[in-house]
Every structure is written in structure tokens, then in C-alpha cells.
Amino acid sequence: MSPKDHFRKFTVKLLEKYFAVTPLSDGSLDTPKKILIVRQHNQFGDLLASVSLFRAVKESIPDAHLTLVASPENYFAVINNKFIDELIVFDRKKIFYPGYFIRFKKELQANYDLAIVPTTVAISMTSCLLAAFSKARIKIGPVSLNGKRNDLDYLFNYRVNLDWRKCPDAHVSDFILDIVRPFGIKTKNYSSSISFDEKDEAFVNEFIDAIFPKEYDLLMGFHIGAGKEQNRWSLDKYIDLIERINSKHKIKFYFTGSEADSEELNYVKKHFGSRGGYFLNNTIPQLAALIAKSNLFITNDTGVMHVAGTTKTPQISIFGPTNPFNWAPVGHQKYFLRKSELIDDVTVDDVENLFEIIFKKQSSLNEKSS
């Protein structure tokens, strides 16, 4: 056993001595008034996929005050989310700053009746510890995930077995509810949501008017980046696709992204120049507002895919190694394409053909409504 494993084993035993709680089995939560959900351990796309859990809590316990613990990497996904009453941003880099520690401790130990640690991809030791330190009256967390035991299960009163292998194609917005289903907390609506206001819409309108002053039939958005290289569809295929669509339809198009996507954006900008718009480094509500005004959005499998998934805009998500049945946005006119573990096995013809199907469907609907 390595020194790191020895230290972890020692830490787990020490924490058990001081923080172990009595396990419960009757399933009673006594109608909690203040609920804490700790979800600081994933990226913002994963957090957006957790909205079904927040909705389920609010639908099942309408009078409860819901607080979410998020991280600097994901909190912006749920700013102004209608199901969350209070948002705590846990920054582990600042935890040893006295002022920050005192303030965070006060927020965390705010007399919660219930603390929940949802788990989908991996069990987070930090999230388990934060729930324990909250001193909530009742704590719910994983005893195992996909057969792998949680060494810190003793921190929870209710210890739930989570196993995605039982239904490997279950969507994440469905699977995340398994942590609370035993307690009657549920919802029939698995969709995600992002709130944007009139200021966000005004900002987006200015962008559209400034970049696209002339008339156009379709406004299309593209997200060509992704945090993982294996999730990025070929830039040359994106360029070919846009040129094909543009040769048949009167479209205006824009690219979304941030500094992390600069290499990809510079590449396409050399080809399209001012023909395309570039909506960069903006807030998540602003991004959602722009996509909501678009006729179609095409994206790689990445966080922005989940942002687009919160809108009613028709969407094509291109997948490679990830299971789209687990992660693709759900809802009306939300489509995905996947051929294999290699994202570039999806061809330009595949995407163009799906675009034409969507376009004809939209045109037919517009004719019927006119």
C-alpha cells in the first residue's frame, strides 16, 4: 500500500471516530424546512443536468428553503435558477483564509434539517465531508456507486446504493434522482433550465443587430470547442457543413466560446472572417438568451450543449465516446448524432441531412401557422 493510501485509510478511520452518525431506515424526513444540496464536485454541464433534482425537491416539499453548495467552476450554471433559494460557492483554494473560513462555516452550518449529496459519475470525498460539517439534522448520501463502496458512508443517516449499471442508458437527469426516490422526492419533468432577463435579451439583440444588420432566413449557432479533445468534431467538417448550408439557404451564423476555445475559434475565423459572428466570454444567461433566439444550434458534446438544451431551440449534438442516452439534452427537437467512440466518424452528410429534416419540419410548421 502506498503512503497516500495509508494516509487516506488513517483519515477515514479518524473521521469515523468523530463524525459517524446513526444510520436510519424508516425513510422519514419529517418535512424538512431547510435543505442543503452539495454538488460542488462536477463541471457546469453536469450541474445543469442536476436541475431535475432541484425541481423534484421543490415539487415534493414546496415550502422548503433550498440551498446549493457549488464551486467556482460550476456555480454560474445555476445563477438565478428558480428552484434554488440560496447559492453557496465553495472555493477550496480559500478555505485556509481565516475570513473566508469563518464566513463559509457560518453559511454551511445554518441549521439545516436535511443535507443531500447527489452522485452520478464519481463519489466526492469533499462533498461528503461538507455535508457532515454542515451538522444537518438528517444527511443522505451514497453508500456505493456502481458497486464501489463509499469509504465515508458512515457520515450519512440514510445510505443509498446507486448503480447506473442497472439501467446503463438512463439519462443523468433521471439517475440523479435515485438518491432521493426512496423518500418520495420525485418529478416527471427531467428538463434543465436557465433563467435570463430583459437585460440579457437586450444584450443579445444588440449583438444580433450589430453583426447581422441585413435580412436573413435562419440564425444558426455553432459551438466548435470542448474541454476534451475526443469530444471535438473536426473544424474542417464544421466549415464544410456551414458552407453547404449557406449555399442552399439564406443564413446568418455565429460561434460561441471562451478563451479556452481560442485555438478553434481562430481557425474558423481565418476562413469565415466577418461572415460569422463571434459571441465570446459572455455569461451563461446571455448565452442561453442568444440560443433561444436562434433557429438551430449545433454543438459538440460539452457544457454549452447543456446550455442549449435548456432552450426550445432545435439542436443537434455531436457525440463520440460519451453515451448520448446518458448525457444528450432531452426534449422536443433535441437531436444527437453518434456513430462510434470516434466523433469524426459522424460525417458532414449525416449532420446536413438531419439539418434538412429539421428545416423542412420547421418550414411546414411555419406555413401552417401563417
pLDDT in tens, 249-286: 989 999 999 999 999 999 999 999 989 999 999 999 99
* Alpha helices (H) in 134-274, listed in sequence order: 172-175, 198-211, 235-248, 262-272
Residue 307 phi/psi, 5-degree rounding, is -65, -50
- Mean pLDDT for the stretch of residues 206-226: 89
What H or E segment, with its residue span, contains residue 70? strand 65-70
Q: 198-369, which class in CATH?
A: alpha beta
**Strand pairing of 148-149 and 86-89?**
unpaired
Average pLDDT over residues 230-255: 96
Lowest mean pLDDT among 149-163, 171-185, 263-277, 352-366: 352-366
* pLDDT over 70, % of the chain: 97
The whole-number average pLDDT for the span 105-126 is 96
Joined grid coordinates for residue 19: 463524525
**Between 51 and 368, whose confidence is greater?**
51
* 198-369 shares the fold of 3-183: yes
The pLDDT confidence band at residue 366, using thresholds 50, 70 and 90, is low
Domain ranges of the chain: 3-183, 198-369
What's the mean pLDDT in 83-110? Answer: 96
For residues 50 and 269, give the distance between their C-alpha atoms in angstroms, rounded to a whole number.
Answer: 34
User: Is the pLDDT score of 222 beyond 60?
Assistant: yes
Does the pLDDT at position 368 exceed 50?
no
CATH topology for 3-183 is Rossmann fold (3.40.50)
Residue 365 has pLDDT above 60, yes or no: no
Residues 66-99 as b/e (b if ≥16 CB within 10 A, e otherwise) read bbbbbbeebbbbbeebebbeebbbbeeeeeeeee
In contact, 233 and 224? CB cutoff 8 Å:
yes
SS3 content of the chain, % helix, strand, coil (to 5): 45, 15, 35
Cα distance between residue 20 and residue 7, in whole Å = 19
> Long-range contacts of range 13-16, CB-CB < 8 Å, 24 or more positions apart?
15/129, 15/132, 15/152, 15/155, 16/154
Is 283 strand, coil or helix? coil
The arithmetic mean of pLDDT across residues 59-75, rounded, is: 96
The pLDDT of residue 14 is: 81
pLDDT of 370: 45
369 pLDDT higher than 60 = no
| Alpha carbons 290 and 299: distance in angstroms, whole number | 14
What pTM was computed for the model? 0.91
Torsion of CA 95, 101, 104, 108, to 10 degrees: 90
Bridge partners of residue 317, in order along the sequence: 299, 336
The percent of residues above 90 in pLDDT, for the chain, comes to 84
**Rounded to the nearest 10 degrees, what angle do helices 235-248 and 262-272 cross at?**
40
Tell me: pLDDT of 141 over 90: yes
Q: Yes or no: say if 219 and 208 are a contact pair by the CB < 8 Å rule.
A: yes
